[in-house]
């Protein structure tokens, strides 16, 4: 089975006749005309934890269940407070039904019939599948020992019972398997943080961010990777409270665009150099908190070295260049980081003096060569500025909270009888040379392994796709003399499953029972009750393992007489006994439809506060009991070049400054995109529609290579190559390209990946201390790819290509971009911000009048039958000849409901867009709410640095339910009406699909539904409004950037806040006044208020036309 061309067959969900689904699901989720259905049964609204895939969040959904199917998902509706904010799901959770009812769901067990990796399987009975797996487990452990068995890292299902925990319990009862430590997310930071603080609990509770005055978001992007639900929202509140937020990142991320006062682009892998230069400024200018350093730290200077290390190099020696002759000045760092020296010095002063301050280190910058160094350098900056152990401060590092966060295993997996453990990133080494591995390779628990890995049992793990150097990994797995048996348990035939000998169909978390706890910070416990039956013959991970256990003679020991529901009840009882005395029983949870047990944060805990208050009475768990700027532990390793005892900048082994740059001059990164959770959700069409897979590239780099926006390009290095479309964007540092990670590896006959799987390019070399992954250290070249090359069907279904002309347009930049020499043309600067359909190129319409703004007809809509006349300025609302008068109560508008958008807070996450699609059952290609990305500014060289004035913001727009709707005026069928509350609706029984309304609307709101043959648009969720609930988009917004109400009410509710230092904000404005490029609001008087982004007055252009 291929990702790009999924075909229904005997073992995936049938597309044409999903008999187990309701007609509603068939029509709205699969786009098929349903067969006549019986009268629907009663609907249940069940509060349920969002299915966990290690997304970084813990959210709550309200599932609507009817006739054995989930028909839609709503947002958390609990009270929304600072102590316990609503757990609003992101775009992935809101689109979950597209995964739940995906036509490629596995239905039956499969057996491989061709060579490994070809993906050729036949359906087999469950008994044969389970007997085969049980036999192979027994055969391999008898031949090689239990250490030859391996369960790879993977979090594709993470609700205690569903996922790898069940498999670990199984093998632990069977005698164990090779274990591992670390993970792919934060191996370096988890290992490095204790070398400074002796603990990983170095973060205050998040509500304490509101006490900070300065926040450095260093490589941290919570708007996309989440880092626990509401982290981005709490940052918004901190900024409104007066915190100044600076984002240091190679990308102008959604977090930076919406949350930061300043973006500082930095060359990847050089963060430790900038941190060192900041320390230089602090030392030279007397900004170090010496009182704190003298009493709480060791290693800062020669006067306070650890015992026995008196003659060793101190931190001040290194920073000031006394030991190596190289002072770590801002000018030194500028040449390395591409950050102007003056900027480095200014940020150093701000962080050291505008206290308390948070330096929050993201995880991407430690997934690099020498990733431990940047972690330790950030911790030391926090220490020497005295930002440790205080409210509004932050000690840095991994930053688990003092009490709370993820509790680990509720479900008892038991002890592993095999003591040997390897670093998780080195599992391929354990396949190739396991018996040769020793302590120098990170092996713990044994001097040597008894066997190489010979059997892999992968549960909810796409470990091939997510490990580095995919081609190398695939070659290892193809060799049946290395790994003799592979079993994969999953929802789909993933790239990993293509290499399996047996594939077992697992159910989703909506189809079984489970629990979730906080991802990192919160103490919440979320219940996942079983909502629906699994499709076909799919079973829960727990049930599969229980049936294997029975075959292996350990069935009773495995189940202890409990099914999935019984274990959930047991786990809740254990939590009540050990941690939360007032947590409800399972029956109480279900009876109250609670969904989540919350522990509000009324007084945020401060990490290391007791140590700060009295270091003698509360010493740290380091060797000296103090903060170890100089680490005796690391010094004893005797590897100062790779693992120095002081945090130092070390040039990466693949670098723009190395010889490899002659052939591969561009750095590549692979950020965590909202499209996916690692590789989960890559096949979800709504997410591909929202965030199409592209390589992101600065126009300056593209111009050197003759690459235009939308072109197919080849990205390659010595490890492999991939071909995918290119998006030119100002939002990335020149010299850097970004390939969002997690796309499903889809090689062609020549081995070239056609989906954009970044791990084709990554290296398997680990970090030197933690032996963690370095998958962001990549050097590549990019060149135009030969045409024609086809895109995946998912992209075509999503309509992300538009038409051929859309990719031929040079990237449109604002005038300031001319300084970078990357302007494609000059006409774009005079074109208004047009809300044009996909495929309509910017700047080609021949006029700039706001009243002649964008057309919104989709690719299946013909040209306007009225020509240019229908785009003229609408005349005042009037009845047309022959139009029936409005029905009673509809002729006059008693009040006018309106939407409100805070463009200063919108991150462009598109949860609103997808919530709208889910609420209204919209197919791919119809967007009643669209999120526009507006960018502008430019880049220019400044010495060794790059300087820029780039900006970006987002506009979430739907039908504005105008006071003078142009669509109503031109409708020849009288199908459009305006309710007394101002909501404008289309009557589907009267609409003839003429598209006149689409051409008349200056906002492009009406859209043609080709399947129904009529026009559609936002309804303001009238059913919700009439029931006293908010529209789906408003309820969904994780940032609370959307609101609704009567215009006067909105103006009062969102009036400027002038009583808080640093938080003076502009009043909401009509769109034509708030955003110069939008149509003048006097045309139709849109019922929309926008609080403008600070950069709204600047010239910009739409950067994501293919998505809107």
| Mean pLDDT confidence for 1052-1070 | 63
Of residues 385, 300, 389, the one with CA closest to residue 631 = 300
Contact (Cβ atoms closer than 8 angstroms) between residue 56 and residue 519: yes
Task: Tell me what pLDDT residue 700 has.
Answer: 97
Of residues 989, 837, 925, the one with CA closest to residue 31 = 925
Residue 885 has pLDDT above 60, yes or no: no
Q: What is the pLDDT of residues 174-198, one digit of tens each?
A: 999 999 999 999 999 999 999 999 9
Element (H, E) at 380: helix 371-384
Contact (Cβ atoms closer than 8 angstroms) between residue 788 and residue 801: no
| Mutual angle of helices 371-384 and 271-284, in 10-degree steps | 20
Burial of 786: CB neighbours in 10 Å, binned 0-12, 13-18, 19+: exposed
Question: Rounded CA gap, 207 and 603, in Å?
Answer: 8
Question: Rounded CA gap, 763 and 248, in Å?
Answer: 25
Q: What is the pLDDT of residues 38-83, one digit of tens each?
A: 678 899 999 999 997 888 899 999 999 999 999 999 999 999 999 9
Task: Tell me what pLDDT residue 37 has.
Answer: 58
Residue 1060 has pLDDT above 50, yes or no: no
Question: Rounded CA gap, 114 and 354, in Å?
Answer: 64
Task: Tell me what pLDDT residue 644 has.
Answer: 98
Which alpha helices (H) appear in 32-144, and where do they start and end? Answer: 91-94, 96-100, 126-144
| Mean pLDDT confidence for 1035-1056 | 94
3-class SS at 72? Answer: strand
| Mean pLDDT confidence for 300-325 | 96
CA–CA distance from 502 to each of 148, 271, 1106 (Å)? 18, 45, 40
Element (H, E) at 587: helix 586-592
3-class SS at 918? Answer: helix
Q: What is the pLDDT of residues 4-30, one digit of tens each?
A: 323 334 445 443 333 333 333 444 444
The larger pLDDT score, comparing residue 224 to residue 38, is at 224
| Mean pLDDT confidence for 260-268 | 98
380: number of Cβ within 10 Å: 26
Q: Identify the DSSP state of 725.
A: E
Task: Tell me what pLDDT residue 1077 has.
Answer: 61
Residue 150 has pLDDT above 90, yes or no: yes
Asked which of 212-216, 486-490, 825-829, 1037-1041 is least confident by mean pLDDT, the reply is 825-829
Residue 1102 has pLDDT above 70, yes or no: yes
Question: Rounded CA gap, 887 and 876, in Å?
Answer: 20
| Mean pLDDT confidence for 620-632 | 98
The larger pLDDT score, comparing residue 1065 to residue 478, is at 478
What the block records as the tokens of 143 is 């031949």
Q: What is the pLDDT of residues 674-683, one digit of tens each?
A: 999 999 999 9
| Mean pLDDT confidence for 645-666 | 98
Residue 377 has pLDDT above 80, yes or no: yes
Q: What is the pLDDT of residues 331-346, one digit of tens each?
A: 999 999 999 999 999 9
Residue 814 has pLDDT above 50, yes or no: no
Task: Tell me what pLDDT residue 24 has.
Answer: 37
Confidence bin at 519 (pLDDT 50/70/90): confident
Handedness of CA 308, 311, 316, 318 (dihedral sign): negative
Share of the chain above pLDDT 70, in %: 85
Mean pLDDT of the chain: 87
Confidence bin at 1066 (pLDDT 50/70/90): low
Task: Tell me what pLDDT residue 1103 has.
Answer: 94
Task: Tell me what pLDDT residue 999 has.
Answer: 95
Contact (Cβ atoms closer than 8 angstroms) between residue 1043 and residue 1009: no
E strands within 965-1079?
976-978, 984-986, 1007-1009, 1014-1016, 1042-1046
Task: Tell me what pLDDT residue 861 has.
Answer: 33
Strands 60-66 vs 44-49: parallel, antiparallel or unpaired = antiparallel
Q: What is the pLDDT of residues 830-841, one digit of tens each?
A: 233 444 444 332
Confidence bin at 409 (pLDDT 50/70/90): confident
Q: What angle do CA 425, 491, 545 make, to 5 degrees?
A: 75
Q: What is the pLDDT of residues 961-1015, one digit of tens each?
A: 999 999 999 999 999 999 999 999 999 999 999 999 999 999 999 999 999 999 9
Q: What is the pLDDT of residues 460-504, one digit of tens each?
A: 999 999 999 999 999 999 999 999 999 999 999 999 999 999 999
Residue 433 has pLDDT above 70, yes or no: yes
Which residues on neighbouring strands pair with residue 154, listed in sequence order? none
Q: What is the pLDDT of residues 692-750, one digit of tens each?
A: 999 999 999 999 999 999 999 999 999 999 999 999 999 999 999 999 999 999 999 99
Residue 454 has pLDDT above 80, yes or no: yes
Contact (Cβ atoms closer than 8 angstroms) between residue 883 and residue 974: yes
Residue 359: CA count within 13 A, CB half-sphere: 28
Residue 855 has pLDDT above 80, yes or no: no
| Mean pLDDT confidence for 117-121 | 95
Question: Rounded CA gap, 515 and 854, in Å?
Answer: 47
Task: Tell me what pLDDT residue 1080 has.
Answer: 85
Maximal C-alpha separation, the chain: 98
Task: Tell me what pLDDT residue 789 has.
Answer: 42
| Mean pLDDT confidence for 925-939 | 96
């Amino acid at each position: 089975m291929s990702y790009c061309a999924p075909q229904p067959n005997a073992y995936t969900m049938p597309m044409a006749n999903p008999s187990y689904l309701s007609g509603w699901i068939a029509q709205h989720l699969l786009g098929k005309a349903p067969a006549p259905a019986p009268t629907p049964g009663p609907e249940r609204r069940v509060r349920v934890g969002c299915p966990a895939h290690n997304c970084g969040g813990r959210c709550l959904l309200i599932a609507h269940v009817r006739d054995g199917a989930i028909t839609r998902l709503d947002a958390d509706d609990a009270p929304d407070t600072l102590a316990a904010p609503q757990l609003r799901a992101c775009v992935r959770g809101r689109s979950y039904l597209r995964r739940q009812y995906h036509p490629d769901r596995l239905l039956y067990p499969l057996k491989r019939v061709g060579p490994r990796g070809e993906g050729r399987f036949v359906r087999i009975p469950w008994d044969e599948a389970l007997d085969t797996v049980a036999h192979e487990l027994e055969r391999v452990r008898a031949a090689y020992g239990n250490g030859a068995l391996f369960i790879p890292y993977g979090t594709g299902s993470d609700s205690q019972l569903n996922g790898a925990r069940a498999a670990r319990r199984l093998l632990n009862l069977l005698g164990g398997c090779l274990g591992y430590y670390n993970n792919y997310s934060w191996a370096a930071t988890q290992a490095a943080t204790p070398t400074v603080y002796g603990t990983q609990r170095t973060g205050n509770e998040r509500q304490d961010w509101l006490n900070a005055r300065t926040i450095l978001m260093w490589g941290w992007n919570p708007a996309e990777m989440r880092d626990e639900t509401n982290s981005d929202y709490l940052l918004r509140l901190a900024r409104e409270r007066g915190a100044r937020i600076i984002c240091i990142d190679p990308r102008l991320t959604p977090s930076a665009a919406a949350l930061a006062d300043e973006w500082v682009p930095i060359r990847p892998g050089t963060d430790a150099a900038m941190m060192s230069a900041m320390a230089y400024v602090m030392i030279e200018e007397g900004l170090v908190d010496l009182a704190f350093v003298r009493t709480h730290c060791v290693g800062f200077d020669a006067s306070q070295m650890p015992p026995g290390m008196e003659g060793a190099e101190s931190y001040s020696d290194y920073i000031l260049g006394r030991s190596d002759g190289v002072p770590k000045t801002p000018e030194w760092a500028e040449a390395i980081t591409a950050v102007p020296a003056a900027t480095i010095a200014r940020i150093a002063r701000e962080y050291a003096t505008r206290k308390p301050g948070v330096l929050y280190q993201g995880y991407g910058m430690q997934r690099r060569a020498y990733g431990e160094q940047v972690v330790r350098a950030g911790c030391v900056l926090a220490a020497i500025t005295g930002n440790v152990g205080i409210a509004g401060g932050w000690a840095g590092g991994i930053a688990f909270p003092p009490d709370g966060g993820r509790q680990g295993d509720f479900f008892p997996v038991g002890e592993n009888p095999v003591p040997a453990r390897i670093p998780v990133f080195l599992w391929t080494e354990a396949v190739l040379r396991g018996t040769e591995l020793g302590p120098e390779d990170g092996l713990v628990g044994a001097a040597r392994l008894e066997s190489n890995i010979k059997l892999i049992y992968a549960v909810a793990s796409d470990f091939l796709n997510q490990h580095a150097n995919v081609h190398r990994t695939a070659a290892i797995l193809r060799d049946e003399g290395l790994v003799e048996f592979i079993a994969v348990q999953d929802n789909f035939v993933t790239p990993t499953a293509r290499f399996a000998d047996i594939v077992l169909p697992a159910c989703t978390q909506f189809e079984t029972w489970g629990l979730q706890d906080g991802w990192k910070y919160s103490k919440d416990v979320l219940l996942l009750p079983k909502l629906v039956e699994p499709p076909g013959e799919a079973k829960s991970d727990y049930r599969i393992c229980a049936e294997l256990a029975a075959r292996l003679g350990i069935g009773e020991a495995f189940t202890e007489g409990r099914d999935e529901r019984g274990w959930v009840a047991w786990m809740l009882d254990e939590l009540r006994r050990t941690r939360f005395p007032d947590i409800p029983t399972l029956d109480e949870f279900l009876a109250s439809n609670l969904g989540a047990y919350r522990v509000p944060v009324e007084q945020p805990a401060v990490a290391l506060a007791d140590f700060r208050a009295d270091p003698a009475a509360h010493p740290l768990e380091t060797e000296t009991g103090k903060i170890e700027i100089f680490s005796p532990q690391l010094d004893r390793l005797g590897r100062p070049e790779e693992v120095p005892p002081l945090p130092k900048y070390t040039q990466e082994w693949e670098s723009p400054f190395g010889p490899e740059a002659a052939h591969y001059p561009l750095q590549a990164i692979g950020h965590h995109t909202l499209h996916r959770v690692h590789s989960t959700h890559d096949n979800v069409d709504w997410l591909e529609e929202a965030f199409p897979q592209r390589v992101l590239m600065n126009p300056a780099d593209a111009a050197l290579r003759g690459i235009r926006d939308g072109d197919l390009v080849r990205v390659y290095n010595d490890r492999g190559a991939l071909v995918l479309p290119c998006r030119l964007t100002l939002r990335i540092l020149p010299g850097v390209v970004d390939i969002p990670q997690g796309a499903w590896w889809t090689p062609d006959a020549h081995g070239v990946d056609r989906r954009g799987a970044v791990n084709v390019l990554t290296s398997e070399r680990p970090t030197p201390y933690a032996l963690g992954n370095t998958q962001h250290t990549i050097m590549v070249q990019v060149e135009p790819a030969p045409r024609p090359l086809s895109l995946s069907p998912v992209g075509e279904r999503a309509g992300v290509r538009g038409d051929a002309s859309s990719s031929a347009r040079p990237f449109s930049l604002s005038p300031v971009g001319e300084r970078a020499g990357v302007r494609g043309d000059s006409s774009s600067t005079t074109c208004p911000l047009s809300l044009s359909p996909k495929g309509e190129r910017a700047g080609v319409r021949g006029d700039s009048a706001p009243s002649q703004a964008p057309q919104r007809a989709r690719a299946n809509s013909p040209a306007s039958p009225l020509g240019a006349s229908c785009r003229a300025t609408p005349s005042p609302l009037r009845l047309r000849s022959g139009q029936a008068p409005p029905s009673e109560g509809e002729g006059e508008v008693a009040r006018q409901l309106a939407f409100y958008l805070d463009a200063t807070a919108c991150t462009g996450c598109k949860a609103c867009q997808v919530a709208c699609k889910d609420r209204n059952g919209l197919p791919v290609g119809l967007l009643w709410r669209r999120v526009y990305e507006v960018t502008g500014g430019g880049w220019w060289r400044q010495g060794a640095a790059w300087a820029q004035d780039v900006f970006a913001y987002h506009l979430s727009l739907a039908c504005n339910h105008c006071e003078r709707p142009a669509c109503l005026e031109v409708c020849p069928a009288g199908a459009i009406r305006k309710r007394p509350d101002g909501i404008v609706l289309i009557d589907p029984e009267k609409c003839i699909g003429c598209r006149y309304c689409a051409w008349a609307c200056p906002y492009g709101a009406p859209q043609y539904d080709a399947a129904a043959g009529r026009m559609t648009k936002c309804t303001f969720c009238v059913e919700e409004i009439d029931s006293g609930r908010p529209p789906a988009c408003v309820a969904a917004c994780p940032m609370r950037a959307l609101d609704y109400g009567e215009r006067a009410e909105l103006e009062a509710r969102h009036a400027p806040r002038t009583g808080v230092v640093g938080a003076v904000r502009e009043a909401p404005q009509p769109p034509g006044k708030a955003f110069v490029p939008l149509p003048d609001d006097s045309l139709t008087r849109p019922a929309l208020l926008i609080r403008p982004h600070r950069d709204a007055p600047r010239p910009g252009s739409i950067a994501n036309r293919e998505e809107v």
